[in-house]
Amino acid sequence: MSSSSLDGIAAATIVTDGVDVYDIERSRVEPYDDELRERLQNLYSKRPDTARLAAEFQSLEEELTRAHAAVAQEMIDFADGKVDVIGFHGHTLYHNPEQHFTYQMGDGELLSKLTGKKVVNHFVQADLLSGGQGGPLVPVYYAALVNNFQKPVGVAHIGSISNLTWVGDNGELMAFDAGPGNAQINDWVFYHAGQHMDYDGKLAISGKVNDKVLVNLMRHKFFAKHPPKSMDRNLFKDKLEHLEGLSLEDGAATVTEFVVEAIAYSMALYFPSRPQQLIVCGGGAKNPTLMRFLRAKLPDIEVITAGQLGWRADTMEAQAIGFLAARRLYCLPMSFPSTTGAREPVVGGEIWLPQAD
């Protein structure tokens, strides 16, 4: 899969039967080149509803799929070809659950042809068709990973946006998108410093949080919406105009604190009970300033990174997509009323078989 924070293509090989995770063999992230990153960014929140846009979407989808295929093939070769199925999420360009519309760019049929492997994709679409929000889809994977942990336990995935998972004492599962994530931090530093991200949170730690601006940022109707809920990465774009006028460092500090405030607020408001532990994964777990802010905001909860547990934090969603692909083959549900709002547990994903030449 590739994150809408535009970090690059994340890939992982896992050994699973769709219930238990026996091994995570290899993980990697392949950064985008500047041209592909810019083409993707230019199509955010757009639909292929004109001839020109349809042609642009089609051209970019083939290029993106071939880039994924190159990464997948490298992973397959490393595994000596012993790959049964590829889970392919693709790249989310537009997600509007209220309109029951999503666009995950990526051609599963082409990926299967290029790799010679079985491919499962279109996970999000299946959930939307079942009345769900289309996400988050990874909680069932997190539940498998924390099966033997002391509960309740929380998982915060901070990717392009942030989502939260709560696993109760008896395996109860709740999840929802919580708000902004790396995309909002990345956008700020890119437009004001030409950097693709705030590397190691160095800008944010050098700045000062503007509390007045932070209060304005938190005045968004999304936070008052009760889960299940899902969001597009550009949902807060207009709100982030409040940052204009701040210095580069103060803006980075304030938007980083915005990510943290949204997570803490959502946990307090919507988690059924306070977790003893919060595990942070996604690219945000590699930002020491964000982690420092989050621990300060949640002093009564043990906040640890996925890396501290030996998990590869920045490829967790890629691992999860592989897990969902296995669940599809075994006809096991990937999403539930308590995670996406679907009417019933959803067995989702479209299967593509490699075609002989």
Mean pLDDT (whole number) for 252-277:
97
| Cβ atoms of 76 and 49 closer than 8 Å | no
Residues 296 and 329 in one domain: no
pLDDT-wise least confident of 21-30, 204-213, 251-260: 21-30
**pLDDT: is 175 or 45 the higher one?**
175
Residues 215 and 343 in one domain: no
Residues 177 and 273 in one domain: yes
| Cβ atoms of 141 and 20 closer than 8 Å | no
Would you say residue 3 lies in a domain? no
pLDDT band at 338; cut points 50, 70, 90: very high
Summarize pLDDT for 24-77 with one digit per residue, the tens. Answer: 999 999 998 889 989 998 998 888 989 999 999 999 999 999 999 999 999 999
Residues 74 and 111 in one domain: yes
Summarize pLDDT for 222-255 with one digit per residue, the tens. Answer: 999 999 999 988 899 888 999 999 999 999 999 9
Mean pLDDT, the chain, rounded, equals 94
Residues 208 and 320 in one domain: no
Residues 86 and 180 in one domain: no
Would you say residue 2 lies in a domain? no
Would you say residue 193 lies in a domain? yes
| Per-residue pLDDT, 99 | 83
Does 357 score more than 70 pLDDT? Answer: no
Does 185 score more than 70 pLDDT? Answer: yes
Residues 294 and 340 in one domain: no
Residues 163 and 305 in one domain: yes
Torsion angle of C-alpha atoms 85, 88, 89, 90, degrees rounded to 10 = 180
| Per-residue pLDDT, 199 | 92
| Per-residue pLDDT, 3 | 75
Q: 250 lies in which domain range?
A: 139-314
| Cβ atoms of 224 and 262 closer than 8 Å | no
Find out whether the peptide bond into 152 is cis, omega within 30 degrees of 0. Answer: yes
Does 101 score more than 90 pLDDT? Answer: no
pLDDT band at 356; cut points 50, 70, 90: low
Residue 80 neighbours by CB distance under 10 Å: 7
| Per-residue pLDDT, 355 | 81
Residues 155 and 101 in one domain: no
Would you say residue 357 lies in a domain? no
Residues 119 and 197 in one domain: no
Mean pLDDT (whole number) for 320-331:
97
Mean pLDDT (whole number) for 137-152:
95
Mean pLDDT (whole number) for 291-318:
94
Residues 122 and 178 in one domain: no
Would you say residue 1 lies in a domain? no
Per cent of the chain over pLDDT 70 is 99
**CATH for 252:** 3.30.420.40
Question: 51 vs 54, 91, 93, 124, CA distance in Å?
Answer: 5, 21, 18, 25
Q: In degrees rounded to 5, what are phi and psi of residue 248?
A: -55, -45
pLDDT band at 206; cut points 50, 70, 90: very high
Q: CB-based burial of residue 266 (10 Å sphere; 0-12 exposed, 13-18 middle, 19+ buried)?
A: buried
Number of structural domains found in the chain: 2
Residues 284 and 147 in one domain: yes
| Per-residue pLDDT, 314 | 79
pLDDT band at 100; cut points 50, 70, 90: confident
